[in-house]
A and B are shown apart, each in its own frame.
Chain A
Amino acid sequence: METLKLMFKSNIREYGMVIALVSIVLFFEIVSKGVLLQPLNVTNLIQQNSYILVLAIGMLLVIVAFQIDLSVGSIAAFVGAVSAILMIDYHIGVVPGILISLLIGGLAGAFQGYWVAYFKIPGFIVTLAGMLIFRGLTMTALEGQSKAPFPEVFQKMSNGFIPDVLSGTSIHLTTLVVGIILTLVYIYFELSHRKAKLEYNFEVIPVRFLAAKLVFVGVAINWFMYLLASYKGIPNVLILLFILIVFYTFITTKTVIGRHIYALGGNEKAAKLSGVKTERIVFWVFVNMGVLAALSGLVFAARLNAATPKAGTGFELDAIAACFIGGASTAGGIGVVMGAIIGGLVMGVMNNGMSLIGVTIDMQQTIKGLVLLLAVAFDIYTKSKQS
């Protein structure tokens, strides 16, 4: 029991976030009289927030490296515009179109990363400039007009669903099967993780708690899949998100480069004296952000089925807020990918929930602002208590 208490205490950030998300979901589920968790609305929630979540993943790395990127909304818009010109005006295929777009995003990130990493200009300034530069380029490229429609395959990226190969009638069977497979994979990973720990004689959580955890997560996965299956199944964009989350969680927790990003953000001087190539890391973090901003821009353009000059306005602030609500430290060096995702979902659910119960857009902004402030205040308060 003591160890459990300790584990809870040391992971209060992570648990706190999940508890906050669950409470917010429950709150809006009740006040919206059950509309929030209706299958259609859940699907909408995922599709509406996907592009912010993609940005939040990249932004998390930027914030962990003790930088900030204000240009992501503009880069997303710019890449959306370029992709429209390529696919609509020049009839370039969807796949090459996407690849070229991602490359352009990477170049935009490299451009900014160069000034930040090697010229030592604060990221705030460089990306503030980038925000203006790429917004201006978007307007110029689109000549102030929207461009539509995209090829249908491209739209499917954001609006489509995985096909039901098992051809269920009233319910999307494939989705249910995916849920079961995911559950099994999850159980396998937990068990093999535990086995490795036992081999090294490390402390592990007692079996009954592990069992409770497995049951809880398993039920959650399958219930969620059931919700999706009752509508049209798993949205394509959810698969994209899932791949990104898994990939970036792996990078941040398991690889040398991930460790270097955290070290750099925690104490740049010490990291440098330990052999971390700090400039190179900062540069690549911005390149990565550029690519993800491009991806976000594509997802948004596909969802809207149009490239517009005003696309992506304010995305950067939502992405930054998601990271901080999700427990990333304002001082750098602390933050997890899953946290940024949960932070983004907290904001998304609040947006959606408030709309459902008829809170005006104007008031929604205020409430979101307060939530951000409280989340960071809570974070700083628990940190000061720990030390």
Chain B
Amino acid sequence: MDDVILEMIDITKTFPGVKALNHVNLQVQKGEIHALVGENGAGKSTLMKVLSGVYPHGTYTGDIHYQGKLCEFKNIKESEKLGIVIIHQELALIPYLSIEENIFLGNEQGKYGLIDWHATTMRTQKLLATVGLKELPSTLVTNIGVGKQQLVEIAKALSKEVELLILDEPTAALNEDDSDNLLKLLLEFKKQGISSIIISHKLNEISRIADSITVLRDGATIETLNVRSDHITEDRIIKGMVGRELTELYPKRDAAIGDIIFEVKNWNVYHHLHSDRKVIHNVNFHVKQGEVVGIAGLMGAGRTELAMSIFGRSYGQKISGQIYKNGSEVHLKNVSKAIEEGIAYVTEDRKQYGLILNNDIKRNITLANLKNIANHSVIDDNKEILVAEKSRQQMNIKCSSVLQNTGNLSGGNQQKVVLSKWIFTEPDVLILDEPTRGIDVGAKFEIYSIINKLAKDGKGIVLISSELPEVLGMCDRIYVMSEGSITGEIAGAEASQERIMKYVMSK
């Protein structure tokens, strides 16, 4: 077992303004299952992208040794040639192509640009037998479930003569049976000498199948645990994942909490495309005046879906439940009604859902409340500039002028523009969805100060965040969400990362 297949040494990768990986080391033995764990944003996926050549050599520093050789991959093709295959979290299959077409996409069987369908089908059948998938090679991928699609991905990896298989959260979208099958398959591969790296949040699975575990936190390697020789409990892993000291990252606030301002009861939502798939199960929560309430959980726990379904039914179908504001029921049947009732929702995806990138700062800020700067539907341009200038100063938006396009701003400043837009609607309740995602530490602090100021002004704040320290540092009360349900509620003073993680994993 002391045969090292992969060694990544001193890997550092920076994005503009953010150090995603900071001198990370990773060592994988031949024929082992190596788990990579860490919170969202710890750098797991980035590390795997460095390994597979998605981020080519030269965009990071450090060395990759694979099978004893120094590797400098320029793209995925090169790493695949050596048998490193990565299966991403979002499956990269083409829905309206068949299984066999998907498996050999980019690697078509045949000569001179002509496809040899007999060879394709024969090889596909063999591969499907290996992964235990009983489907015809000609079945369209769209007609099989997510679990089976995952198997097709693995069959595709096998077709490339894989020696190191990387799986990014392979069981996130699978039910228990499918997950079990997949894990058994990995153990089977292990017997055949194929090494795998598995990224997962499901600690029970990891302790079942992994031989060793590397913990990443904030872009750095924390430790590598040997599951076989030492007895490793789930608590032990969680401790490694979250064991960070809370520093002075979060500005102080003296909470003056008033009455309940906003309450959601018995909230149920179905998936926007699949009307039989329930994504939000009977959720109840409330927020008081001047209170910052956190909703913690992993990505995909249904928090964004919850927020958007509340905010003018922007997500889902067959929505049921009641919403109360200041004690009386309100019906937020569309977004403009929600805005009228004093609700604001700051999206987690500012580029797709938050900003009009080819419009300037002032137009973005006023968009949700144009009637405030208009007389009888005629916009007062000069008043608009004044409004934008005021936001720019209050929020400290760094720009050449309010006429600059928002597409050219940094992430932190874009976020401040989105916040300005919603503050300009004069809301009583703000739902902030991952408000500090992808922005640097300095800008984060500014955003936190703004949140505190809003709370101080008596507004109710709902803070959705995947970053536990942020939730702990900012919130007076914390709900934990998992798979569409609220699995726990903790008072801010009693909260700890371990307690939240327990609720997160409790489903």
A residues in contact (CB < 8 Å) with B: 10, 196-197, 200, 202, 254-257, 259-260, 262-263, 266-267, 269-277, 329, 331, 333-334, 387
Is A277 within 8 A of B336, CB to CB? yes
Cβ A274 vs Cβ B368 within 8 A:
yes
Considering the complex, give the chain B residue whose CB is closest to the CB of A260: B370
Bound together, the chains give a CA A196 to CA B379 distance in angstroms of: 14
Most A CB within 10 A of own CB, among B335, B356, B382: B356
Contacts of B314 in A (CB 8 A): 272-273
Q: Is the CB–CB distance between A274 and B403 below 8 Å?
A: no
Nearest-neighbour CB distance to chain B for A190, whole angstroms, equals: 15
Query: Please, what's the 1-or-0 string for B235-260, where 1 marks a CB less than 8 Å from any CB in chain A?
Result: 00000000000000000000000000
Instruction: Give CA–CA (A277, B312) in the complex, Å.
Output: 12
**What 1/0 flags go to B331-373 for Cβ under 8 Å of A?**
0001110110000010100001111111100010001101100
Alpha-carbon distance between A333 and B359 when the two chains are bound, in angstroms: 8
Known pairs A269-B352, A275-B335, A275-B368. 13 more at Cβ < 8 A? A10-B403, A202-B382, A202-B385, A256-B378, A262-B359, A262-B363, A267-B355, A269-B353, A271-B367, A272-B314, A273-B335, A273-B353, A334-B358
Known A270-B352, A277-B334; contact A256-B382, beta-carbon cutoff 8 A: no
The one of A10, A200, A333 in contact with B356, judged by C-beta atoms closer than 8 angstroms, is A333
Say whether B394 faces chain A, with CB atoms less than 8 Å apart.
Answer: no
Interface of B is mostly: helix
**Contact across chains for A276 and B378 when beta carbons are under 8 A apart:** no
CB proximity of B409 to chain A, nearest CB, Å: 11
Residues in B neighbouring A270, C-beta threshold 8 A: 352-356
Interface centre among B314, B345, B363, B377 (most CB of A within 10 A): B377
- Write the nearest CB–CB distance from A379 to chain B, whole angstroms: 13
Are A197 and B353 touching (Cβ within 8 A)?
no
* CB pair B357 A256 closer than 8 Å: no
Identify A200's interface contact among B370, B377, B385, B407, CB under 8 A: B385
**Bitwise interface map of B from 470 to 491 toward A, beta carbon under 8 Å scored 1, else 0:** 0000000000000000000000
Cα distance A257–B367 when bound, in Å?
11
Number of interface residues of B (CB under 8 A): 35
Nearest CB in chain A: distance from B340 CB, A: 9
Complex Cα spacing A10 to B405, Å:
11
Q: In the complex the two chains form, what is the Cα distance from A334 to B371 in whole Å?
A: 22
Q: Which chain B residues border A255 with CB–CB below 8 Å?
A: 374, 377-379
| A to B CB contacts below 8 Å, 7 in the list | A254-B378, A256-B370, A270-B355, A273-B354, A275-B368, A329-B358, A331-B358
The 7 A-B pairs at the shortest CB distance, nearest first, are namely A266-B356, A275-B336, A274-B368, A275-B335, A267-B356, A256-B370, A274-B367
Q: CB distance A256 to B335 under 8 Å?
A: no
Measured between beta carbons, the chain A residues less than 8 angstroms from B356 are 262-263, 266-267, 270-271, 333
Q: Does B421 contact A (CB under 8 A)?
A: yes
Closest A residue to B383 by CB, please name it. A200
Whether the pair B334, A387 counts as a contact (CB closer than 8 A) is no
Kindly list chain A residues whose C-beta atoms are within 8 Å of the C-beta of B357. Answer: 266-267
Cβ contacts under 8 Å, A333 to chain B: 356, 358-359
Q: In the assembly, what is the distance between CA of A331 and CA of B374, in Å?
A: 28
Least CB distance, A191 to chain B, in whole angstroms: 15
Q: Which of B338, B367, B382 contacts A276 (CB 8 A)?
A: B367
- Complex Cα spacing A274 to B385, Å: 19
B14 within 8 A of A: no
The answer to whether residues A263 and B359 also contact, given A196-B382, A200-B385, A387-B407 and a CB cut-off of 8 A, is: yes
**B15 CB → nearest A CB, Å:** 18
The reply to whether the CB of B386 lies closer than 8 angstroms to some CB of chain A is yes
- Complex Cα spacing A259 to B379, Å: 9
Tell me the minimal C-beta distance from B401 to chain A in angstroms: 9
Distance in angstroms between the alpha carbons of A262 and B379 in the assembled complex: 14
For A259, the chain B residues whose CB sits under 8 A away are: 363, 367, 370, 379
B408 on the interface (CB 8 Å rule)? yes
Which residue of A254, A256, A334, A387 has the most chain B CB atoms within 10 A of its CB atom?
A: A256
* C-alpha spacing A254/B371, complex, angstroms: 12
Q: Which residues of A contact B407 (CB under 8 A)?
A: 387
A276 contact set on B, CB distance < 8 A: 367
Contacts of B345 in A (CB 8 A): 273
Kindly state the separation between the CA atoms of A331 and B367 in the bound complex, as whole angstroms: 20
